[in-house]
């Protein structure tokens, strides 16, 4: 359907080799875009490209986005291949859990660097490429992956994770206001539980209890994340900016 068609568009998905990032990359490919995915690990990148191959053209670029230099390198590598980029998805992230008395400073630094600083540096690095492909009628898109843990107080001692996700939501709004005049929309999705490696152990031990907290009685499916990504990236979502969209079956409303 033309309203959701991304044929000819170029997208970049950081942390796009597994979990929610892979779901988003798959959705963009199915809508017709070509997609670059990044990860720290080369073997994960090649495996993801093989998994995505049935859906379209995916290219892997290795980058450790906890370093500003690699945020710049990622944009340079894509820019060497493309004249413009239409969608940038900031999905790369990390988490850490520990009691307050034992929570290490290094864990704060790691999570802040990847969850909060990297989305800013990636967005800034890609601005020339986004502007090259953007118009008033078809703006460039930045999609940040937040979390419902940035909208509520988590039950678990993931202090740095929830704090950085809440900050990322605010950064999304700030960037949306700043970049709107440059024909770029900035939105965030706030996923709830999805079947990812990060959630695997928790879903195995508490899956039924977590599902019971959802008004819809379910956890996320890969299509749910693919769908919201395509909406925000396509003509259907071109007038949406500064939004934080929970994709959680309503769990955030009940906890």
Catalytic residue IDs = 161
Q: What is the DSSP letter of 82?
A: -
How far apart are the C-alpha atoms of 110 and 139, rounded to whole Å? 32
- Cα separation, 58 vs 46, in Å, equals 10
Measured distance CA(114)–CA(21) in Å, rounded: 14
At 209, list the tokens. Answer: 């209890």
The closest alpha carbon to 212, from 250, 156, 158, 155, belongs to 250
Residue labelled with tokens 């670059």: 36
Sign of CA dihedral 211, 214, 215, 219: negative
């Amino acid at each position: 359907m033309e309203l959701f068609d991304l044929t000819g568009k170029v997208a970049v998905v950081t942390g796009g080799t597994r979990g929610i990032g892979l779901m988003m990359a798959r959705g963009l490919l199915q809508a017709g875009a070509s997609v670059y995915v990044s990860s720290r690990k080369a073997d994960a990148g090649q495996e993801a490209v093989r998994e995505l191959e049935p859906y379209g053209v995916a290219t892997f670029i290795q980058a450790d986005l906890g370093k500003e230099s690699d945020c710049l390198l990622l944009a340079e590598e894509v820019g060497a291949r493309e004249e413009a980029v239409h969608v940038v998805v900031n999905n790369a992230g990390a988490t850490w859990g520990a009691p307050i008395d034992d929570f290490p400073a290094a864990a704060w630094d790691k999570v802040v660097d990847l969850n909060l600083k990297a989305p800013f540096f990636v967005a800034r690095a890609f601005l020339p490429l986004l502007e090259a492909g953007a118009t008033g009628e078809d703006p460039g898109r930045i999609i940040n992956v937040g979390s419902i843990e940035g909208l509520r107080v988590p039950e678990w001692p993931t202090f740095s994770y929830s704090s950085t996700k809440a900050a990322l939501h605010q950064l999304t709004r700030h960037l949306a206001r700043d970049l709107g005049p440059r024909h770029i929309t900035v939105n965030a999705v706030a996923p709830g539980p999805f079947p990812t490696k990060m959630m695997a152990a928790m879903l195995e031990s508490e899956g039924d209890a977590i599902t019971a907290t959802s008004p819809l009685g379910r956890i996320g499916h890969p299509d749910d994340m693919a769908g919201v990504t395509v909406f925000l990236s396509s003509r259907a979502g071109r007038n949406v900016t500064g939004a934080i969209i929970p994709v959680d079956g309503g769990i955030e409303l009940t906890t």
